[in-house]
Amino acid sequence: MAEPAPAPDRTRDAALAGSIAALTLAVVLVANLAPAARQAPHRPADDPTCLEWTDDCVVCTRVGDAVACSMPGIACVRRAPRCTRR
């Protein structure tokens, strides 16, 4: 007569489940404790110390409280605005 098969060892399964749970908890904690995304930098037009700025298409100049900007060219590729003179 054949002997019955031994009961499967569940310790490996329990260790694997515990490892997965610990990894999931670690990912959730890191995601919640990581620093928040930084806000986009302010536009140079909003910075009163910036006297001239450009986006490589238009150049704007501040004179007192007034702002004067040039006209964009035909084949213009805009980039992020940056201050060019303080």
CA neighbor of 54 nearest in space, from 75, 72, 39, 74:
72
Rounded CA gap, 30 and 7, in Å? 39
Tell the residue number behind the tokens 């060019």, with chain if given. 84
Q: Enumerate residues 6+ apart whose C-beta is below 8 A from 59.
A: 52, 53, 69, 70, 84
Q: What is this structure's pTM?
A: 0.50
**Domain ranges across the chain:** 44-85
Q: Enumerate residues 6+ apart whose C-beta is below 8 A from 82.
A: 44, 53, 54, 55
pLDDT per residue of the chain (86 residues) written in tens, 0 to 9: 677 777 777 888 888 989 999 999 988 888 888 777 766 557 888 888 899 999 999 999 998 889 999 998 888 899 999 999 99
